[in-house]
Structure 1
Amino acid sequence: MKLALYQGPAISGATEEAFACIGTQLNGAAAAGARMLVMPELFLPGYNQPEMHGSLSQPRGGAWETRLAALAHEAGCGLTIGWAEREGDRVYNAATAFGPDGAVLGHYRKIQLFGPMEAASFVPGDAYCTFEFGGMKAALLICYDVEFAPHVRALAEQGVSLVLVPTANPAGFDHVQNYTVPGRAAEMGLTIVYANYCGTDAGLPFGGRSLIAGPLGDALVSAGRGEALLVADLGVLGDLPKAALSTQLTDYREL
C-alpha cells in the first residue's frame, strides 16, 4: 500500500483556491498509486486564523465534509485532513479520514491543544479514533498529540500500526520531525504520517520537514522546507527484520 502526504502553504479561508489545492493533490497522489493522502492541520479554514475558526467552522455532515468526501471519491484516493468543526457552541480542532470511495473512516478531535491561540479557539477532544484501512489498524492524531508518548502507546495497545497526523508545526521546532516523531514510531513499532505546512500563515512561519516514519524510526520519505507531495510504499516494511522491531509493549515493567 502506498501513502502520500502534502506539505504546502496555508490558504486562508475555505476558498475555492483551498478546495482546488485539495483536489489537485488528491489527483496527484492517486496518479502515484497512493491509497491515502494526509494534509495539514486546520487546512480549512487555516491554522493561524482564530477569527475564522469560530465564524467559518462547520458541523459534521456540512458542506465541507460533503465536498471533501466527493473529492476523495472523484480521485479514488483517501483523504485525511484537518478542519475546524462546530458542534453547538463548541468548536473543535478536528481531522477526518475519508476512504477512496468518499466514505468517512474516522473522525477525531485534538486532545492536546497547543498554545494560547488553540486554547482560546477550541475545546479539547476526549477520545481516540481507530479504523481499519488497507489491512492495517489506523488511528488519527493531530500535531501536538503525537509528541505525548502515552497517547501513541495507548493506540499501540489497541493494535494500531498506522497513525495519520495532520500537523501545523512552527519553525524552530525541528526536533519534533528530527527526533520525536521517529522516536514515537520506533518505540511502538508503527508507521506515522506527519503532514506539516511550509511558508507562513498570518505571520506565523512553519518548519516544513514533513515525513513518513517507519517502525524502525527511519524516514521512508521526508520533505525539505518547501511545497512537496511525497509518496511512500509501505510494501518495503514487509522485509523488516522482526528482531529489530520494538518489544516495549510486552517488555515494560511498571514500578
Structure 2
Amino acid sequence: MRSSPGPECQTDPVTCRIATVQMEAVPSDIDGNVARIARLIVAASAGGADLVLFPEAAVTGYDDGVFAGPLPDLADEEWWAPLQSAVDRSGVTAIVNTAIQRDGCRFLGDVILSPGRTPLAAYDKQHLHDSESSVFSPGAHGAFFTLKGLQFALSVCYDANFPEHAAAAARAGAHAYLNSGAYFPGGEHRRDLHYAARALDNGMYVVFSGLVGEPHDFIGGAAVFDPLGRRITVAGEGEHLAFADLDPNIVADARRHQRMWAQRRESLGEHRHAGSFDTASAQR
C-alpha cells in the first residue's frame, strides 16, 4: 500500500481530514475484505484522518453472483466486529459500503462505524444501475451526518450521475458529498466529469472512493474535488489512500463568488414549443 503525501494535520477544529480509499474487494471473501478494510482504517488514522471513505461493496465484493446469495446483516455482529475494533482503537470514523440485507430486503448500503457507537446503516443507494435493480431495493431517502462541524452527504456510485441528487444534499446543508463507487473500464471520462460537475454545480467538496481489480477490472480513480470542481488529490495505482483537508470556509467562499447555487430558481415553468423552423415547415 502507498499513501499519497498530504499537508500536515491541521489543528483548526472546523477542518476535517478525510482519507479516500482505492482497494480491491474479493467477491465472497468477507473475512478477507473486512481484514483489509480494518487495516486501511488504521492506515488512515496514521495519516491523520478523522474520516475514511471506502468503495462500493467493499465488504462483499461487487459481483452479481455474490449479490444473489446470502448477504451480511447488521444483526450479525461477527462480520463487523473487527471494523468496530479498528475504529475504536484508531479514533477514525469510517463509511463502509456493502451489499446488505435488512428486514427482508437487499440494499447497497453505507454503514457508519464511529468510535464507541453501534454501527449505523445510514444510507441505501437510491439509483440502481442495470442488473442491480433486479436484486436490490432503492433507498427511500438521502442522508447526511456531522463530523467536526462539517456536514457530509452520502451517495453510492450511480447516484452521482444525477445532478438533483447532489443538489438535494447541498440544499440540506452539506459541505461535502461522499461517493462510494465501482467503475468499469472505459468509464474514466464519465467518472471524473460527473464528480467535478457535482462539486462545481453546488459549491461543495466531492469525495470519491473506488474499487480496483477483480472481478471486472475496476478502474479505481479515488479522488477529492474542491468546491470549484478542481481535483485536489488523487489515488495512485493499486491499493492506495489519498488524503485531503476539508475546510467549510472554502465552501462558503466558493458559494459567495460562484453564484449559481444562490441564484438558481426553484421553478423554470413549463417547456413550451416555440414552433418548427425546418425548411419543409417554412415552405407551407
1:210 pairs, out of 222, 226, 243, with: 222
Single out whichever of 35-44 and 88-97 deviates more from structure 2: 88-97
CA contact (8 A) 2:17 2:48 kept: yes
User: Given that residues 17 and 50 in structure 2 are in contact (C-alpha distance below 8 angstroms), is that contact kept between their aligned partners in structure 1?
Assistant: yes
Supply the RMSD in Å over aligned alpha carbons. Answer: 2.2
* 1:135 matched to 2:160: no
Q: Pick one of 61, 69, 72 that aligns with 2:87.
A: 72
Contact 1:185 1:213 in 2 (8 A): yes
Aligned length: 251
Alignment of 1:14-163 (within 5 A): 14-48=29-63, 50-63=64-77, 64-104=79-119, 107-116=122-131, 118-163=132-177
What CA deviation, in whole Å up to 9, does each residue of 1:90-135 have, x standing for no partner? 111111122244554661110001112x122211111111111121
Tell me which of 191, 209, 231 is aligned to 1:219: 231
Which residue of 162, 174, 181 corresponds with 1:167? 181
CA distance in 1, matches of 2:224, 2:50: 14
- CA 1:245–1:190: 2 relative to 1, 3 Å: farther
Distance 1:247-1:100 versus aligned 2 partners, 3 A rule: farther
CA displacement 1:41-93 (0-9 Å, x = unmatched): 01121112x23224331333422344432321122211111112212331111
The TM-score with structure 2 as length reference comes to 0.81
Q: Secondary structure at 1:175's aligned position in 2?
A: helix
Task: Classify the secondary structure of the residue corresponding to 1:60.
Answer: coil
Is residue 36–residue 99 contact of structure 1 (8 Å, CA) maintained in 2? no
With over 3 angstroms needed to count, the CA separation of the structure-2 counterparts of 1:68 and 1:212, relative to structure 1, is same
Gaps (5+ residues) in structure 2?
1-15, 269-284
Query: Which of structures 1 and 2 has the bigger CA Rg?
Result: 2
Moved more, 92-101 or 237-246: 237-246
Counterpart position of 1:231: 243
- SS of corresponding position for 2:241: strand
Distance 1:154-1:25 versus aligned 2 partners, 3 A rule: same
| More moved, 56-65 vs 39-48 | 56-65
Give the Å deviation of 1:219. 1.2
Is residue 2:192 matched to residue 1:178?
yes
Query: Could you list the per-position Cα deviations for residues 2-49 of structure 1 after superposition, in whole angstroms to 9, with x for gaps in the alignment?
Result: 10011011222243321221111111110110011111101121112x
Tell me how far apart the structure 2 counterparts of residues 237 and 31 of structure 1 sit (CA, whole Å).
26
Change beyond 3 A, Cα 1:121–1:239: closer
Cα deviations by residue, 1:167-194 (Å, 9 ceiling, x for unpaired): 1111111123321101101110111110
AA partner of residue 169 (structure 2): L
Unpaired runs of at least 5, structure 1: none
Shift of 1:198: 1.3
Instruction: Supply the AA of the counterpart residue of 1:111.
Output: Q
* Cα shift at 1:153: 0.5
The 3 A distance-change label for structure 1 pair 72 and 230 is: same
CA distance in 2: counterparts of 1:150 and 1:243, whole angstroms: 18
Deviates more, 1:8-17 or 1:82-91: 8-17
Residue type of the alignment partner of 2:225: A
